[in-house]
Amino acid sequence: MATRFQPLLPGLWLYPDTCHVYVLKFGRDAVAVDFGSGRWMKDLPALGIDRVSDVFLTHHHADQCAGLEPRRTRPFTVHAPAGDEPYLDPKMLRSHRHAMRQLPYHAFPRNYRPLARGLDAISCDMHPYREWRGQDLCLRFVPTPGHGPQAISIVTEFNGRQLCFCGDAAHAGGTIWEPFNLEWDHWTGTGALEAWQGIERLRGIGLDRLLPSHGPAIASPPASLLRTLSARLMRLYRAKGSICAGEKDHFLRAEPRPNRARQYLPHLYQFDENSYLLISATGETLVVDPSRAHSRAMAGLIQELGVRPPQVILATHIHSDHCGAMMALRKETGARICLHPRVAAPLRQVDRQFYLYAPSTPVAADELWPQIGTWRWQEYAFTVAPWPGQTWWHCAFMTRIDGRKVLFGGDSFMPASRWNGTGGFCALNNSRFRTGHMASARLAIRWQPDILANGHGAVFRFTDSRFRRIIRWAQSAEKAMQDLCPTGSLAKDYYALTGFDGRP
């Protein structure tokens, strides 16, 4: 009988399913590592196996275990990493989904490959550094986070060889299957650092074989593969650190106003978390990045200065803390929403497509800017352009205010002491290196603004040196991520979920 099972050692097979399923045979019985779709079970008679007693899941991703989902009694026990209950238990999954749907924005997912319904009746009893004994076998559990914070590698001795079933902690060539899984949030290196620790743990064990969930099984001692992978994970962790190491913050003085608003220039005010009020000579006003509907700070400024309510509302990027209040403010004041096409396009369809941190209800622009060009309001001429960095869906606009060139830059770049000098990069924001951070840094150097008026109250002086450092960082950060891609292609591996479209 033809079977897709591939023999690895006497009594040990690999079945290429949605993930690799490894089967270890004991007489007519067997134990399996990961489950995939479950198709492999039909081929067991070809191996002389009548019964599977236990299945061990290395982590909770759907490709490892979706075949277990249909509710039914199973003739075997399913073991999963301790702490994975919230990702596996059907009730907990349902309540998490419900909570996510209540949010007014698209939150960062806690799991990139979630199960549709969840698994009933499983034992989350694979505790780090504990062991399981049965079937003349001792399995030891080593924490190797990465594809999930609780992911486990299983170390055992079988047929005279020391084996490690490492799930997605490592992949052939010292890479990581779907490396975006190392991004546990939109900006820190936590996932990369935890993954590095896990690989360091495996490096301390004299392994003969490394048996990952995807890609080729490693038939020779994996010491050099793990050394390479460890160094790469540390490089990624460093890339997630400062993007302009050594740069000063270049503070800018401001006059405090009521409601924690601040005046930076005679005609420029900053208020709430992310917002700016620009005033024209005629007393008309324009708002950038409204983060709050019915803002007391904005109303206070308008009253104090004796100016008119906003006529125009602008946004630097699609994140809800920068544009989530636009529709409410438009309704409140009758102001027009003017957007850059790169920001407007996703905001039109946020109810139909996932865009990280975008509001969950659409924003409709009354006027679209040119991709690159000039847009005028009152006496101000704004130079506008895409400004990808923290997210691909980001723009910048610069105008002269009280004799100073002010660039409104949202979240793409920050002072060095703020979040490593960056709003972060992650695959879900479609953050790019060469065509993102680097291109935007070059544009800043060309535009030579005096002041960067960014999000989160970060108003600081422009320096060439910051952006030269960012250009160098983008080169090394791109390489750090690319080196971890199994195919060597960021488009195929890193942007697999967001659909890298290759646009410049």
Residue number, 272 or 411, with CB nearest to Zn ion: 411
Contacts with Zn ion, 21-60, as mask; x by CB under 5 A: ----------------------------------------
Work out whether 262 is an interface residue with Zn ion (CB under 5 A).
no
C-alpha to C-alpha distances, 458 to 210, 252, 398, 461, 475, nearest whole angstrom: 47, 9, 16, 10, 25
Work out whether 168 is an interface residue with Zn ion (CB under 5 A).
yes
Residue number, 40 or 387, with CB nearest to Zn ion: 387
Q: With contacts defined by CB under 5 A, name the span among 160-168, 230-238, 307-315, 482-490 that binds Zn ion.
A: 160-168
Of the candidates 54, 194, 289, 411, which one interacts with Zn ion according to CB under 5 A? 411
Work out whether 394 is an interface residue with Zn ion (CB under 5 A).
no
CA dihedral of residues 337, 341, 347, 350 (deg, nearest 10):
160
For the bound state, the minimum distance from the C-beta of residue 168 to Zn ion, rounded and expressed in Å, comes to 4
What is the Cα–Cα distance from 329 to 270, expressed in whole angstroms? 17
Interface residues for Zn ion in 473-502 (CB under 5 A)?
none
Residue number, 167 or 285, with CB nearest to Zn ion: 167
What is the Cα–Cα distance from 134 to 52, expressed in whole angstroms? 12
Contacts with Zn ion, 72-111, as mask; x by CB under 5 A: ----------------------------------------
Amino acid of residue 305: L
Distance of alpha carbon 372 from the chain centroid:
28
Work out whether 342 is an interface residue with Zn ion (CB under 5 A).
no
Residues 6+ apart with CB under 8 A from 20: 14, 34, 36, 211, 212, 213, 214, 217
Residue number, 17 or 168, with CB nearest to Zn ion: 168
For the bound state, the minimum distance from the C-beta of residue 126 to Zn ion, rounded and expressed in Å, comes to 15
The three-state secondary structure class of 162 is strand
Q: Which residue carries 């490396």 as its tokens?
A: 179
Of the candidates 292, 319, 330, 469, which one interacts with Zn ion according to CB under 5 A? 319
On the 0-12 / 13-18 / 19+ scale of CB atoms within 10 A, 349 is exposed
Q: With contacts defined by CB under 5 A, name the span among 91-99, 190-198, 409-417, 457-465 that binds Zn ion.
A: 409-417
Contacts with Zn ion, 129-148, as mask; x by CB under 5 A: ------------------x-
Helices and strands (DSSP H and E) totals, the chain:
11, 26
Which helix (H) or strand (E) is 88 found in, with range?
helix 85-88
Q: With contacts defined by CB under 5 A, name the span among 406-414, 429-437, 444-452, 481-489 that binds Zn ion.
A: 406-414
What is the Cα–Cα distance from 438 to 424, expressed in whole angstroms? 14
Work out whether 437 is an interface residue with Zn ion (CB under 5 A).
no
How many residues are recorded in the chain? 504
Cβ pair 339, 368 in contact under 8 A: yes
Applying CB under 5 A, which residues contact Zn ion?
61, 147, 168, 319, 411
